[in-house]
Amino acid sequence: MKNQDCEYPKDGRTAVVRAKKEDIRSLQKQVEELKAQIRGRTTAEDASSTDDIHRCETSDHIEFGPRCPRDCTPAAGRPNEVSRLPCADPSSLEGRQIQVYGATSLLPSYLEAPLANFQSKETDEDAFLKNVTRDRLIAFSAIIKQKETIIYSTPNIAANIDFDGVPVDMAMHLLELHWNRLHFMYLLTYRPVIMDSLFNSGPYMNKLLLNAIYLQSSLYSDRLSLRSDPDDSQTMGMSFYERFKSLLIHYVDKPTLPTVVALLTCGACLLQYGKQSASWVYCGMAYRMIVDLGYHLEDQRCSQSGEHAKLSALDKEVRRRVYWGAYATDKFQSLYLGRPPGLQQCYSNVPRDFLDSYEELEEWRPYIDPRARLGDTSVPVYPGRPSYAVSTFQCLLQLSVITETIVNAFYSTNDAKASEHILVQSRQSVKAQLDRWRETLPGHLLFNPDTDETPPPHQMTLYTTYWTLVILAEQPFLRRGHFEFTPIPELQYESKKRCIEASLEIRNLIAAYKKAFSLRRAQYGISYAMYGAVLVLLQHTDQDCEEYTEAIRFFWLALLECQNGCGHGLKGPLRLLKSLMRRIEKVVQRIDLDCPGTTGGLASSDVQFEPTPATETLGQGETWGASWLNLETEDLFFADDTIFGFFAQE
């Protein structure tokens, strides 16, 4: 009508070039890679926990967040050997990488290297996600703790749990002993995941770990039925050790987290059984497994059987605790045995930040066996106090790092060859670190033995460890022959003063500990502190100080009490100590070493020692003679590193 030409555009559907399937897949892959890179830049290392804290479904499991879309259930016949990890696409591993086993390894296993700007500062979003993760971990711990209560009070449910043939009542007794005392020392056993795995056959508990806990707890039990020989206290729990050894062959070639914890738990308690070599070997195996599994390195990715997977916050929390618990165990076992540490801080990058603080303010009371006699006065009355578990362990870790410095600086094979200037500088550096530790101790952990109520045992060990390290840092500068130079008199005097101060402080701490808890269940670190303190005082009896002599007597009786309790392994060190004390006239005049009286119902005559001649033969043909004493001067002189290692000369 309007005389206009109508033009119709061509159909675009006939002209378009269709994308090939290969191009689409390539683009999808690029999108996924970009998403992975964005997630790596915008989320903190724990941010993934908001979606990844989950429980793979077995009977009666509690779940947090979405279930894993892949099959994460344990392999048939191996319910406790498969780590529970959220799944991720292995192809998304991009960017710079670091090797778990080092650049020289023919079997490289990679972790994604953190971005420099990612670690430099924490954004508000990172902090928020970290708090969310912390809240969810704490909630998980609280739920599992409530679940424990239900199971303990419901025999029908407990009867369905596999305690490896141990009666339910005995198993619960030994587990309660573990959680009440031994767990708090190094936080190696992360309670919520271990108990959840015990109830549900999960991946964080296996029979090897269960028997290691039984063995360790047996030392602290009074039930005679745990003895292989009713008349021999040193056979307490030995049936569990035999079971542990029979099981080990099935686990040793397949390293897993519960196997690592089992080896560390068993190795640590064997010290108190007097099995030093076995203790050293088992813990050494655990340290190797930690490195083999890559637990000494933490990143957003880990290697497990060649498959890369993003770790959940729960996995990270467990692995951090296992690594640092192993690190602390290594350092103090090294002191006890006088042997070089197996784990070095410079080869790890695991943060010390624990997000689950559920146990921090949980009330602690000494465990009392429900089968104990009513009105038993041997158990002191102790009011409940907050455990401060996490903050106490964090402070202990700081002392562990200082311990590594002391051992490397003053007790390694190369320390004697170092120059005087370097060694004196190292001493000043260690002294500054120890002073800083004491000055920055949190207010809720401060303790004055003269005025304050005695805190729980794991906190008392913290203080005795501090003073023990003071002695270990100063003692080398008192000994002639330890270094290639003789320290100047001013330095010797200052070191002597600090050693004596530390010894008397340890005496006050042990007196408070003994009054509150008795020494029957004291951890081996307490024994080591007393041993180091009494050796210091024996070197300075020339001052004719009644306080020193009385302190020596106190330590002697206290060590006897430990030996009659769970410190069966003290027999050798006490024999050495008795021999030294007999060589000091002032000590012999004031202390009857054969019958010095009783303490807590335990007499020294209860401990059987071999006869102590004037010159007693030691291992490898060495003898105690005039070399142990400087008979030409007034000072008692130790030519060997007696304090560094209970058993260095055994």
507-535 confidence digits (pLDDT tens)? 999 999 999 998 988 988 999 999 999 99
User: For residue 114, is pLDDT > 80?
Assistant: no
Q: What's the CA gap between 143 and 244, in Å, rounded?
A: 31
Read off the pLDDT of residues 312-359 as tens digits, 9 standing for 90 and up.
Answer: 889 999 999 999 999 999 999 999 888 889 999 888 899 999 999 999
- Decide: helix, strand or coil at residue 462: helix
User: For residue 172, is pLDDT > 60?
Assistant: yes
Report the pLDDT averaged over residues 14-30: 62
- Decide: helix, strand or coil at residue 484: coil
How are beta strands 602-603 and 598-599 bridged, if at all?
Answer: antiparallel
Report the pLDDT averaged over residues 4-32: 62
DSSP-derived letter for residue 542 is: G
Phi-psi region of 73 (alpha: psi -120 to 50; beta: other; left: phi over 0): beta
Q: What's the CA gap between 289 and 519, in Å, rounded?
A: 34
Q: What is the pLDDT of residue 155?
A: 79
User: For residue 622, is pLDDT > 90?
Assistant: no
Backbone angles phi, psi at 611, to 5 degrees: -55, 140
User: For residue 42, is pLDDT > 60?
Assistant: no
Read off the pLDDT of residues 456-486 as tens digits, 9 standing for 90 and up.
Answer: 999 999 999 999 999 999 988 886 666 666 7
Q: What is the pLDDT of residue 151?
A: 83
CB 295 within 8 A of CB 256: no
CB 186 within 8 A of CB 260: no
Q: Nearest to residue 50, comparing CAs of 130, 159, 155?
A: 130
Higher pLDDT, 214 or 625: 214
Q: What is the pLDDT of residue 441?
A: 96
Banded model confidence at residue 488, pLDDT cuts 50, 70, 90: confident
Residue 303 β-bridge partners: 308
User: For residue 47, is pLDDT > 60?
Assistant: no
As a whole number, the mean pLDDT across the chain is 76
**Which range is least confidently modeled, 18-22, 23-27, 65-69?**
65-69
Higher pLDDT, 67 or 292: 292
Q: What is the pLDDT of residue 144?
A: 94
Q: What is the pLDDT of residue 108?
A: 52
Cα separations in angstroms, 89 against 32, 109, 138, 336, 529: 9, 16, 29, 46, 51
User: For residue 401, is pLDDT > 60?
Assistant: yes
Residues in the chain: 650
User: For residue 46, is pLDDT > 70?
Assistant: no
User: For residue 136, is pLDDT > 80?
Assistant: yes
Q: What's the CA gap between 376 and 614, in Å, rounded?
A: 44
Banded model confidence at residue 100, pLDDT cuts 50, 70, 90: low
Report the pLDDT averaged over residues 47-65: 39
Banded model confidence at residue 195, pLDDT cuts 50, 70, 90: very high
> Percent of the chain beyond pLDDT 70?
67
Q: What's the CA gap between 586 and 642, in Å, rounded?
A: 21
Report the pLDDT averaged over residues 643-649: 51
Banded model confidence at residue 81, pLDDT cuts 50, 70, 90: very low
Q: What is the pLDDT of residue 191?
A: 96
User: For residue 37, is pLDDT > 80?
Assistant: no
Read off the pLDDT of residues 213-258 as tens digits, 9 standing for 90 and up.
Answer: 999 999 999 899 999 888 888 899 999 999 999 999 999 999 999 9
Q: What's the CA gap between 93 and 82, in Å, rounded?
A: 22
Cα separations in angstroms, 554 against 366, 531, 551, 634: 24, 11, 5, 23
- Decide: helix, strand or coil at residue 111: strand
Q: Which residue has the tokens 């070599």?
A: 277
> Percent of the chain beyond pLDDT 90?
45
In the chain, where the domains are located: 125-300+310-356, 398-595+637-647
The pTM assigned to this predicted structure is 0.76
Amino acid at 133: T
Q: What is the pLDDT of residue 502?
A: 96
Q: What is the pLDDT of residue 7?
A: 66
Banded model confidence at residue 63, pLDDT cuts 50, 70, 90: very low
User: For residue 120, is pLDDT > 80?
Assistant: no
Report the pLDDT averaged over residues 198-208: 94
Please give the structure tokens belonging to residue 312.
């959940």
Read off the pLDDT of residues 554-571 as tens digits, 9 standing for 90 and up.
Answer: 999 999 999 888 888 888
